[in-house]
Structure 1
Amino acid sequence: MERSLRERIIDLLKEKEMSVTEICRELDLEPERAKEIYKIITTLPKILKRKGMQLFMLPPKCMSCGFEFENPKPSKCPKCKGERISEARFKIV
């Protein structure tokens, strides 16, 4: 029986810290499916809590000024207006 995409993402994030782009690459998914991965990740905290686990996010940062975002998918830095932003990284513990 094939594991669901959510189960495969959980397995990956238990092993190591990853960005959505890395998850897509690791699971041989098209980059266009990143939105779907983000949606799954937003549902994980409730599921993991029941299993005694927790999802952690290393927030995205502006590569120009170092500003840290709370939103996992920012588009532009409010501080310096830069658009070079590192991706959020996720890990399950």
Structure 2
Amino acid sequence: MPVRNCLKPVLEKKLQIKRLTAYRFQKLTGLGRGTSERINDPNWVPNEQTLATICKTFRIQPGEFLYWVPDDSDAMLAELLSHNGIDMEVFGGLN
């Protein structure tokens, strides 16, 4: 899929926490366990309702954590993450 998310590192930076767990994300958003566990998956793109919940809860725009990546170009995503001050190591690399 040409859209990737970097929700977890963006929220960790925004909330100034070292590690955002799925459990903590679930408690903050009220979203289900399965949805909350997907914050670790860069290929996961939230549906409209989930996206609205995330944006409302954390006061962020979708463009802050969703990126279109042509041809699954990891280099392009790394550049976008870097532009937002997120280290690729923190993101956990890409598959």
TM-score by length of 1: 0.35
**Greater strand fraction, Structure 1 or Structure 2:** 1
Between 1 and 2, higher relative CO (CA 8 Å, sep ≥ 6) is seen in 2
TM-score by length of 2: 0.35
